[in-house]
Amino acid sequence: MVSRFFFIIIIFISLFNTINASCILKKVNVVNSKLQLEFSKSLKKSQIRASAIKGTKLTRYVFDFKNVKLGRKVKNVLKLKGDVKSVRVAQNRVNLVRLVIDSKKPYSIRYYQKIKPIFYIELPNSKLISSNKKLNTDKKIVDKTSPKELFSFVSKESVGNAAKIIETPYSANLKHRYTIMVDAGHGGKDSGTYWHGYKEKNLVLSIAKKVVNRLKNLGFNVKMTRHDDRFISLGGRIRKANRAKADLFISIHANSISNKKRVNIAKGIETYFLQTTRNARAKRVAAKENREILKGKDSATKRVLLNAVFTGPKIALSNRLAIDVQKHMLANLRAHFRGVKDGGVRGAPFYVLVGAEMPAILIEVGYLSNPKERAKLYSPLYQKLQAKGIVEGIVSYLKIREREME
């Protein structure tokens, strides 16, 4: 009797949830290389979570639709020919439907919703060939609505301020809570490099803030040398890091070259750690970043300042941190952008790193002097990927250090 009572209660709850679901996914189909999802009513942005998991053979694009129930007649599996292997959809949790696109290679995915409650996901060169037993018999979903979109998503570099990127949820999973000092180069009266109205100080502050937000979301204690457009001396930046007892110091800058014949050639990401060097390129970049502090100093004073570098293990640790950050920045950017150049990891005499009591690096995120790279640098997607790479590089470095210290 008791078991029958509970059985009735379970059925009642199930029916109640189905009836009261905020939205129902009624149909799924592929038409003209577009995945079409018909809902009982329009979705809100807050109901959608998109992520990507890149594997060796497949890239999986995962869409979670919150407060949604799966209709009984919906196709569970769609098999396709072309770049996309299959599309799978299922009730993942109560009031959450999960859709997975298995793609043979990564692509710039785009999704959007029009006025009618049909959700579109563009597929690259893919056609439907078969599905499972729950195949919907409708030939296609006819869309007679106006072309106005309620919202859209594009993971392409050309979309400007609307750009977003799907990504896999990321966890630091570290044993300690570290303090990171993030330094946005220049500021105030010191604009840094300046090209066609674009100032280095504004660009690097934008990227620095994205780095800070990501680090905070992972549980780091994060400090910034500047939060707005103000001038702070190079020595003052390191003093802030030392007073905060920061575990790492990350300084973000943008590069340029004065040789007009090379403005379309010089490009790429470079990461530096503090070290004396004979490398002409490293010395040139260091001289540019040191210009403000060395202004008006005689040659003897310049030599004293630039020779005041830390020695021993801090250099080795900074070098390793630079390698990890450079590697992860390149990996993230190259997954979505072509022609991202690896400028390498080098030691150079940057005054902003002098006196650091912790591993410290300086990142040159790209060349403002290069027109094509400048356009990328001001793309929100490009900045987001750079911040993502910097943070992943920091986490990678700290994980290795924790294993070494065990």
Domain count, the chain: 2
**Residue 295 sits in a domain of what CATH number?**
3.40.630.40
Q: Which residues contact 45 (CB under 8 A, 6 or more apart)?
A: 151
Tokens of 235: 């020595």
pTM for the model stands at 0.58
> 177: Cβ–Cβ under 8 A, 6 or more apart, which residues?
219, 220, 221
Are 222 and 323 contained in the same domain? Answer: yes
Amino acid sitting at position 162: A
Q: In this structure, is residue 168 part of a structural domain? A: no
In terms of Cα–Cα distance, which of 194, 187, 174 is closest to 251? 187
HSE of 334, CA atoms in CB hemisphere, 13 A: 12
Render the burial of 172-207: b for 16+ CB within 10 Å, e for the rest: beeeeebbbbbbbbbbeebebbebeebbbbbbbbbb
Q: pLDDT digits over 142-165, tens only?
A: 333 333 333 344 433 333 333 344
Contacts of 190 (CB under 8 A, 6+ apart): 201, 231, 292
Instruction: Clarify whether residues 133 and 279 are in a common domain.
Output: no
Task: Assess whether 142 and 241 both reside in one domain.
Answer: no
Within this chain, do residues 391 and 356 fall inside the same structural domain, yes or no?
Answer: yes
Distance of alpha carbon 403 from alpha carbon 176, whole angstroms? 12
Establish if 162 belongs to a structural domain: no
Q: Are 203 and 139 contained in the same domain?
A: no
Shared domain check, 70 and 209: no
Domain-embedded: residue 161: no
The CATH number of residue 94's host domain is 2.60.40.3500
Angle 380-405/200-217 helices, nearest 10 degrees?
A: 50
In a domain, 87, yes or no: yes
pLDDT in tens, the chain (406 residues): 545 544 444 444 444 444 445 799 999 988 878 889 999 988 888 888 887 777 777 888 888 899 999 998 887 888 888 888 889 999 888 888 999 998 888 877 788 887 678 888 888 766 666 444 343 333 333 333 333 333 344 433 333 333 344 455 566 889 999 999 999 999 999 999 988 889 999 999 999 999 999 999 899 999 999 999 999 988 889 899 999 999 999 999 999 988 888 889 999 999 988 765 555 554 555 455 555 544 544 555 445 444 544 444 588 899 999 999 999 999 999 988 889 999 999 887 666 677 788 899 999 999 999 999 999 999 999 999 999 999 999 999 999 999 998 7
Summarize pLDDT for 7-29 with one digit per residue, the tens.
444 444 444 444 445 799 999 98
Same domain? 82 vs 203: no
Is the Cβ–Cβ distance between 68 and 39 less than 8 Å? yes
Q: Does residue 123 sit in the same domain as residue 196? A: no
**195 within a domain of the structure (yes/no):** yes
**Residue 395 domain flag:** yes
Cβ contact 246:394 at 8 Å: no
Which residue range(s) make up the domain with 327?
179-405
Same domain, 124 and 267: no
